[in-house]
Amino acid sequence: MTLRVLLATPDYPPATGGIQTLLHGLVEHRREVTYDVLTLESPGAHAYDRGEARVQRLRRPRGGHAAAVARLNAGVVRAARARQYDAILSGHIVAAPGVLASRRPWVQYVHAKELPRRPLLARLALSRADRVIAVSRHTRDLALRSAARPDRLRIVPPGIPVDAFVDPDRRRPDESTVVTVSRLDDVHKGTDVLIRALALARQTVAEARLIVIGEGRLRPALERLATDLGVRDAVEFLGRASDEERDRRLDTCAVFAMLSRVPPGEGGEGFGIVFAEAAARGVPVLAGDQGGARDAVDHGRTGLLVDPTSIGDAAAAIVRLLTDRALRTALGEEGPRWARRFSWDVVVEQVEDVLHEAARHR
């Protein structure tokens, strides 16, 4: 049975980020669901609105984010009255009031950092939704603390495309290069610790270097940090990069690293799809042993997990990965096998099963 589902979300491409990529992937790789997407306008949206899914974009009103969210919720109610949907998939808890008022079977996605930031809204959404999808065990635990019912809660990771998989034997890595990919707006991504760890690692591996892909408000401070530590010539800030450039850098590096941490009272990294993308390309991974990274990295098989607040532990792991070719080879060979569980065909089947559960629940 094919379901007709309304996907309600403020986050959708061409806006960038993990949530946007996840929701767009569900629509693009759908199997037994017909989606109508309700979201907010964004420059350049026409390139993403040409597919088979019907995408309605609401104009952003004056008044900032709160006014835009209010318009989105009102739009959800109107859309649910205008068409008979089998279920509504809410991509973010800010759409919960409109979905609740629509009185339709409801699946709520949760990611991580939004839950402690909006505790009252999280409690409303997670206590009333027919089903809740968490992207990791870490997010599941946050959801349970926000009143999600265990019997209605499912864990489904984000997906990656088939073309993300690369035969590790085809890689020709530079054995001294570490790459990180991150928005440089979030302190919890750990780029500061990674730069400090590189400086320490270079005392053992003098040729070690770091390539930082990403842009954000923290970049000037991170550049100053590299200068102060005397490693500015060993840290290359690429800024924003195309998918092709990012993949090329992953294919020619020895290690992918991101030391995400969970700050006190916050949600941190819900999953970290870039860890799975790196593993799929046969790249050994170094990650922080906190948050959703524990689901994205198989410690000792696809990468290493370390205390993301420990410069010494991170530096030791960098040295080990750069100097132990046999370990890198083993991690790289296992990566694509591990990452198959995150392929879109697997993920979409799980999400659509949850949507069918919710539709039957009412």
pLDDT in tens, the chain (362 residues): 899 999 999 989 988 888 999 999 999 999 999 999 999 998 877 777 777 789 999 999 888 889 999 999 999 999 999 999 999 999 999 999 999 999 999 999 999 999 999 999 999 999 999 999 999 999 999 999 999 999 999 999 999 987 777 777 777 888 899 999 999 998 999 999 999 999 999 999 999 999 999 999 999 999 999 999 999 999 999 999 998 999 999 999 999 999 999 998 888 999 999 999 999 999 999 999 999 999 999 999 999 999 999 999 999 999 999 999 999 999 999 999 999 999 999 999 999 999 999 998 76
Q: Which of 99, 250, 119, 228 is nearest to 172 (CA)?
A: 250
Domains 3-159+343-361 and 162-340 are alike in CATH topology: yes
- Considering only the top CATH level, what class is 3-159+343-361? alpha beta
User: Using CA atoms, how far apart are residues 146 and 152, in angstroms rounded to an integer?
Assistant: 13
Buried b (16+ CB within 10 A) or exposed e, 51-61: eebebebbebe
Please provide the CATH number assigned to the domain covering 162-340: 3.40.50.2000
Q: Where are the domains of the chain?
A: 3-159+343-361, 162-340
Kindly state the tokens that stand for 341. Answer: 């569980």
User: Using CA atoms, how far apart are residues 232 and 225, in angstroms rounded to an integer?
Assistant: 8
> Could you tell me if residue 112 is left (phi over 0), alpha (psi between -120 and 50 degrees) or otherwise beta?
left
CB 98 within 8 Å of CB 7: no
Query: Global pTM?
Result: 0.93
